[in-house]
Amino acid sequence: MKNRYSWGRMYLLVSLLFVSVMLYAQEERDLKPVSRTYALTNVNIVQAPGRKVDMATLIIKDGLIKAVGKNISIPPEAIIIKADSLYVYAGFIDGLSRTGVIKPKEENKERPKDPGNPPAERAGITPQLDVRNFLSASDKSVEDLRSLGFTTAHVVPYGGMLPGNGAIIQLTGKAPDDMVLIEESSFYSELTPAERVYPATTMAVIAKWRELYRQAALEKNYATLYASNRSGLERPSSSRLLEPFYPVIDKRTPVLFKAEKIWDIHRVLGLQKDLGFSLILAGVKEGWEVTGKLKSSGARIFLSLDLPEEQKEDKKDEKKDDKKEDKKDVPKMMTDAEKEALEKRKAESIANYVSQAVAFQKAGIPFGFSTLDAKLKDIQANLRRIIKAGLTEDQALAALTTTPAQLLGLSDRLGSVDAGKIANLVVSSKPYFNEKSKVKYVFVEGTLYKIESSDAKKDASIVLEGEWSVTADTPQGKRESVVTIRKEGDKYSGKISGARFPQAQDLEEVTLDGNKLKYTFTITEGGNTMKITVEATVEGTTFKGTAAAGQFGNIPVEGKKKPQLKP
C-alpha cells in the first residue's frame, strides 16, 4: 500500500513538473497561439467591392478563410475576437515595392579602362540577381506597410537598368523564404543610366536593352536547335547575362518596368511594340495623357501613390507670403499676372496627378497601386484625395484588392474575403477610407497582428529634448552625427552637426507622434543638394528607423541619447 502511494505521489510530482516546464518553455520561446483558428463575430465584412455582409461571422483556420456569413457555427478551438461594428476587407496588394528589400552596399565605381564597354555590373546590368537574396523579414518597412492594411507586395531589387528578378511576398514570416509567395515573378527594369560609363543616357539604355534582348533571342534559338540534334553542332555557350531573358522571350515572365514620366512611358511602350514582351508598367505618375496608347498596348498598370503636396492658401500675411514666394518659387521680375498664371499651371498639374486614377477608370483600364517612392504616412490621406477627385470608394478598394490580384495572377488565392482563399485581411474601426478610421488588426496567412494606433503608443516617459548620437549605416560605411532637439510648448526644433556639416544646421521639421519620431534636413555634396527624412521609433533613450535619401533608398539609422550632465 505504501509502495503504491509513493509511486502515485512521484507520478503526480513528475506530471506537475512536466506541465510547469512546458508552460515555462512556451513563455520563453514565444510560441504561436494554442490555436490557429479565429472567429471574428458581429463584424461588417466587405467581401469585395459591392459585396458586403453586415454583423456577420468570419472563421479563419490554418491560414485560410473557412467560412463567411451569418449563423455560422464557431469551432470550439477558435479564439474569438469580438469585432462588433468593425470592418473587414481583403488584405491590400502593393504592385511595386521595395518593402523588406535591403539595399546592397555600393561597390567601387571607378571609371573602367574602356567606359564604352564596361563590365555588366558596372553598367547596372544584373538580370541574374534574385530579390530573395536581399529580403529581410525583420526590416521595419515590413511592419510599417502592414500596419496600413497591406499584406502582399510585388518587391524588386535595387540597381540600374536591369537590377534582377522580382518576387511576390507576404508581409509575414521570420525568414525570407517564409515570405515568398511567387518567386521570379517579374523581370525588373528601369530607364536608369549608368554613371560615367555606357549606357550613360536614357536613349543608350533603350538601345542596350534592345541589343541584349535580340542577342538573347539568337542564343536561345541556337540552344533550342542544338537540343533537338547535337550531332555536328558546336556546343552553345552559357550566359548568366542572357539566359534570364529566355522566359521573357517566351512570355512566361513579364517585364516589370518602372516608368513614372510621360516620356518614359512612351519609350517603354515603343520598346515593347518592337520586341513584343509581356509588360507590367508600374510607378506611373504621368499617364493620364496616354491612356489610349496604354490600353491598346495591353500592359498591366500600377499607378503611384506618391502624390505632390497640396497647395495651401494662407491669406493671413500676403506681404510675407509674397516675399517667401519670391525667394523660393517665383523669379523676382515676374508680374502679378505671370505669377497668377504660374500658380494656375501648378494647381492644374497637381490636379492631374491626383485625378490620374479617375482618367484610367474612365478609359476602362484596370489598374492597381504602387507604394514605391510614396511616404507611408501619406498613403491613406492620398487615397482619400484620389477619392475626392472622383474615384469611388468601391473603385479605390478594387485597385487595392481584386484588380491587383487579377493583374498578378493571384485571384484564386487573394483579393476578396471568400471561403478557401488565403486569410489576408485588414480590420478597421470604421470604413477604411473614413478619415477617422484606424487599422485595428491585420491577418497575413492567418497570422494575427494587432496594430496599435499612434494614440495608444503615446508614452509620457519619452523626453525628446537633448543631444542624440546618431549612426547612419550608409553604403560607404557608418556615418556619425549629433542631433540636438529643443521643445517650445508643443513644438520641437533642432540642429544637426557632424563631419558633413561644417556648421550646425537647423532641422527643417521635427515631430513626435506617439513614439514615432520624424525630422528632416538637407545635405549638400559635390554641388548637389538632397533632402533627408528620418523616421524612427523611440524607445526610452534610443531610437531605430530609416533615413529616406532619395534615389539612394532607405538607410538604417540608430540614435542614442547622451546623458545630461548635472550642474
**Does the pLDDT of residue 390 top 50, yes or no?**
yes
Q: Which cell numbers hold the place of 347?
A: 494647381
The confidence score (pLDDT) of residue 17 equals: 37
pLDDT digits (tens, 9 = 90+) for 24-66: 333 333 334 557 899 999 999 999 999 999 999 999 999 999 9
Q: What number is the average pLDDT over the span 539-566?
A: 80
**Separation of alpha carbons 82 and 124, rounded Å:** 52
Distance of CA 25 to the CA centre of its chain: 36
**Exposure of 211 in the CB half-sphere (CA atoms within 13 A):** 8
pLDDT digits (tens, 9 = 90+) for 161-205: 999 999 999 999 999 999 999 999 999 999 999 999 999 999 999
Between these two residues, 140 and 22, which has the higher pLDDT value?
A: 140
Sign of CA dihedral 555, 558, 564, 565: negative
**Separation of alpha carbons 45 and 85, rounded Å:** 10
pLDDT digits (tens, 9 = 90+) for 85-127: 999 999 999 999 999 999 988 776 788 889 999 999 999 999 9
**Separation of alpha carbons 294 and 271, rounded Å:** 13
The confidence score (pLDDT) of residue 434 equals: 97
Are 193 and 200 in contact by the 8 Å Cβ rule? The answer is yes
- The reported pTM is 0.76
Lowest mean pLDDT among 227-241, 308-322, 489-503, 510-524: 308-322
The confidence score (pLDDT) of residue 548 equals: 82
Are 283 and 370 in contact by the 8 Å Cβ rule? The answer is yes
Lowest mean pLDDT among 31-40, 274-283, 310-319, 437-446: 310-319
The confidence score (pLDDT) of residue 329 equals: 52
The confidence score (pLDDT) of residue 320 equals: 46
- Percent pLDDT > 70 in the chain is 87
Using CB atoms within 10 Å of the CB of residue 21, give its burial: 0 to 12 exposed, 13 to 18 middle, 19+ buried.
Answer: exposed
pLDDT interval class at 313 (50, 70, 90): low
**Separation of alpha carbons 41 and 106, rounded Å:** 51
**Separation of alpha carbons 369 and 94, rounded Å:** 6
**Does the pLDDT of residue 23 top 70, yes or no?**
no
Lowest mean pLDDT among 41-45, 169-173, 275-279, 328-332: 328-332
Between these two residues, 258 and 16, which has the higher pLDDT value?
A: 258
**Does the pLDDT of residue 149 top 50, yes or no?**
yes
pLDDT digits (tens, 9 = 90+) for 226-244: 999 999 999 998 999 999 9
Report the amino acid identity of residue 560. Answer: K
Q: What number is the average pLDDT over the span 405-421?
A: 98
Percent helix / strand / coil, the chain, rounded to 5: 30, 30, 40
Closest CA to 93 of 527, 545, 403: 403
Q: Helix or strand or coil: residue 247?
A: helix
pLDDT interval class at 453 (50, 70, 90): low
Domains of the chain: 466-561 (2.40.128.120)
The confidence score (pLDDT) of residue 454 equals: 56
